[in-house]
Amino acid sequence: MSNKIVTFGEIMLRLAPYNYERFVQAGTFQVTYGGGEANVAVSLANFGNDVAFVTRLPKNPIGEAALNAVRGYGVDTQYILRGGTRLGIYFLEHGASIRPSKVVYDRADSAISQVEPGMIDWATIFKDKAWFHVTGITPALAPNAAKATIEAVQAAKAAGLKVSCDLNYRKKLWTKAEAKETMTKVVEYVDVVIANEEDAADVFGIEAASIDVTTGTLDTEKYKSVASQLKDYCKAELVAITLRESLSASDNNWSAMLFDGNEFLVSRKYPIHLVDRVGGGDSFGAGLIHGLVNGWDKHKALEFAVAASGLKQTIPGDMNLVTEDEVLGIMKGDISGRVQR
Residues 6+ apart with CB under 8 A from 22: 93
Q: Is 260 a catalytic residue?
A: no
What span, in angstroms and rounded, lies between the C-alpha atoms of 336 and 203? 38
Contacts of 17 (CB under 8 A, 6+ apart): 23, 25, 26, 28, 29, 30, 93, 94
Q: How far is it, in rounded angstroms, from Cα 224 to Cα 241?
A: 9
Q: How far apart are CA 260 and CA 184, in angstroms?
A: 20
Strands 162-166 and 192-196: parallel
Strand partners for 245: 253
Task: Measure the CA angle with vertex 66, ends 61 and 68; round to 5°.
Answer: 90
d(CA 98, CA 67): 36
Residue from 282, 318, 325, 334 carrying the catalytic annotation: 282
Mention every residue, 6+ apart, whose C-beta is less than 8 A from residue 209.
Answer: 222
Return the DSSP state at 338: P
150 C-beta neighbours (distance < 10 Å), count? 19
For residue 44, what is the enclosing H or E element?
helix 36-46
Catalytic machinery residues: 282
